Structure 1
Amino acid sequence: MSSVEGISTQKKLGGLALVAVTAIAPVVWGSTYAVTHLFLPPDRPLFAGVMRILPVGLLMVAWQRRLPRGSWWWRSVVLGTLTMGLFVALLFVAAIRLPSGLGSTMTAVAPLITMGLAWAILRERSTPATVVASLVGALGVLLLVLEGGYEGGVDPVGVLASLGAVTSASAGFVLTKRWTVDESVLVVTTWQLVAGGLVLLPFMLVIEGAPPALPVSGWIALAYLGFVGSGVAYVAWFTGLASMSAGAVAVIGLLNPVAGTLLGVLLLGEPFGPIHLVGMALVLGSVVLAQPQVRAALRIQRKVSTRHTVEVCPSTTSS
């Protein structure tokens, strides 16, 4: 009995540890808004986008001393464009045409888009629990970002750009899951960072011009966004994609606005009320519900509790 329970616990902890590692990415990404708002110029989003992916990607290439081979040249360009280059460009269009609250709600549909693309590309069927979790999480995100309402009208171009950004990233994530079976996550992440940065660089130079002068705090912020927000976060995210279903990983991504809301309250003095708390609870519950490791652990716990009840009842009646 003890050996079986020990094996089950080891597997459970391994699965839960994978969920925790994957969750590093959206939690770190959730800090991007606060860091950018506090330390970076608001009119240079493309500069920030390039600086958060290209330098760390080049450093990782120098460290690993591995260049793409064969089909990985064009795969790296495709993945880097989808997950980083095109994603950041469309996000920039959405940011200048939509109210921030409305723009943030577009992230709520990311799990559903990812599940649809995973079915179309990978023939990966999401479980009913994962679909329900994505809907619950989407409701939680809506409560988080729209509780205070938003000002301004709805710009169709902005909405399309925001949905395009989410779809681009989701497609890149699904293709990364499909193609990384023959390469390490670290290497594939490195190539994507470099390719995405090189794709975005000419747009930055044309639209925004030369890089701005930054104080020391600005360069420290960029170093954090690059090494932690891109290097560590993308490796953690792609590690989860390599071992978990795309839908389950996408639901974990809903932790992004949760982290962003908390940091906004702590660092920027943004308001926080009961509705925000309910939204966070729904998002956290959806993340738990979407993970088969957690559901399996709960089933094991129920079986153990039922078995103990059955064993105790006869002894009680006989006495």
Structure 2
Amino acid sequence: MKANRLLLDSAVTALVPAIWGSTYLVTTELLPPDRPLLAATVRALPAGLVLLALGRVLPTGIWWWRALVLGTLNIGAFFFLLFVAAYHLPGGVAALVGSVQPAVTILLAALLLGDRVRVPHVVACVVAAGGVALLVLKSTVQLDAVGVLAALGGAVCMASGIVLTKRWKRPVGVLLFTGWQLTAGGLVLLPALLVVEGLPDTITGTNALGFGYLIVLGSLFGYSVWFRGIDRLPAVAMSFLGFMSPIVATFLGYLFLSQVLSPTQLIGAVVLIGSILLVQLTPNKPAREVQTDPRGTGTSASGK
């Protein structure tokens, strides 16, 4: 029964990186061109403020700086580094460099959560990197040091955010917890937006549609389900679900942008899905669940 519940939680959480895989298509087709900080800030801050308004509870005590740290790792710094990598590297190279993220998660989970390093997880890391290479890497690529460092930094941010979120445990309901982080991440991004890019002169209806998609599905829905998944799933399992993004991005490019989908890419997708399933089916210590009382405070319900 517990194994079935974990698989169900994995399937629900996998919807989120699948939705995030559509971000590239939405950004290139619907948003203003060359405005990565605008896209990142609008994706984070309005959604966070909506959830804060609904929850009407601000962090207290130690959670002021914890919310800032988590918001920076999971949202602000991650978004920024993601866009820097995208502007300096071909998408396939950025995805390949970012595939080190599960390995970083395994290491951090062992150090900070006491999780065991399991052979199937290590094997899955190697297999998944190969799957990403088959899926998105082309024969002619250009490497850029800034882009590579940004992609590595983004992978470290996501891995650190997952592990620290599990270690610290959320003290409030998942929607409010999501609101704290989105708001913190958005506020970190806002000064950079105002200084570097400035506000746009006009926003078209198409732009508004794209921003609405990112806010509602990418952030309000996406991060709420993502942080719920962090509560319920092992850290390593969460990190591998992120591979759904390049799979979906590749197939959307084929469907809507007339990009070629080769047999090699199909093999890569199958390999990636296999690595995801291998990790989800490998026994591990379940994540400690958090129960909330009517006042929104959280207590741990099960052992580590």
Same-fold call, TM > 0.5?
yes
CA distance in 1 between partners of 2:54 and 2:170 (Å): 22
Aligned partner of 1:149: which letter? S
For 1:266, the aligned partner's letter is L
Q: 2:135 and 2:204 mapped to 1: Cα distance?
A: 33
- TM-superposed CA distance for 1:294, in Å, is 8.7
Give the aligned partner of residue 56 of structure 2: 65
Larger Rg: 1
- Report the counterpart of residue 92 of structure 2 in structure 1: 101
Pick from 184, 189, 214 the counterpart of residue 195 of structure 1: 184
Following superposition of structure 1 onto structure 2, how do residues 1-319 of structure 1 map, counting pairs within 5 Å? 8=1, 11-146=2-137, 148-152=138-142, 154-292=143-281
CA deviation map 1:161-194 (0-9, x unaligned): 2101111121112111111254332222110000
Aligned CA distance change for structure 1 residues 48 and 37 (closer, same or farther; 3 Å): same
Q: Are residues 167 and 202 of structure 1, via their aligned partners in 2, closer, same or farther at CA, if it must alter by over 3 Å?
A: same
> Match of 2:58, SS?
coil
TM-score with structure 1 length normalisation? 0.84
The alignment-based identity, stated in percent, is 45
Q: Is the 8 A contact 1:110 1:170 kept in 2?
A: yes
Q: Aligned with 2:100: secondary structure?
A: helix
- Report the 3-state secondary structure (helix = DSSP H, G, I; strand = E; otherwise coil) of the residue aligned with 2:246: helix
Shift of 1:205: 1.0
**Cα distance in 2 between the residues matched to 1:166 and 1:32:** 17
Contact 1:118 1:246 in 2 (8 A): yes
| Consecutive unaligned residues in structure 1, runs of 5 or more | 1-7, 296-319
Moved more, 193-202 or 182-191: 182-191
Q: What's the C-alpha RMSD, in Å, of the aligned pairs?
A: 1.7
Residue type of the partner of 1:104? A
What's the CA shift for 1:99? Answer: 2.5
CA distance in 2, matches of 1:256, 1:221: 18
CA offsets 1:80-114 (integer angstroms, 9 cap, x no match): 11111111222232222222321121221111111
SS at structure 2 position matched to 1:270: coil
Name the CA shift for 1:114/1:100 in 2 (closer, same or farther; >3 Å): same
Q: Deviations over 1:246-301 (max 9, x none)?
A: 11111111111001111111111111010011000001111111013799xxxxxx
Residue pair 1:12, 1:293 contacting (<8 A) in 2 also: no
Compare 190-199 and 66-75 and name the one that shifted more. Answer: 66-75
Q: Corresponding residue for 1:304? A: none
| Distance across 1 between alignment mates of 2:171 and 2:239 | 22
Check whether the contact 2:101–2:239 (CA below 8 A) recurs between aligned residues.
yes
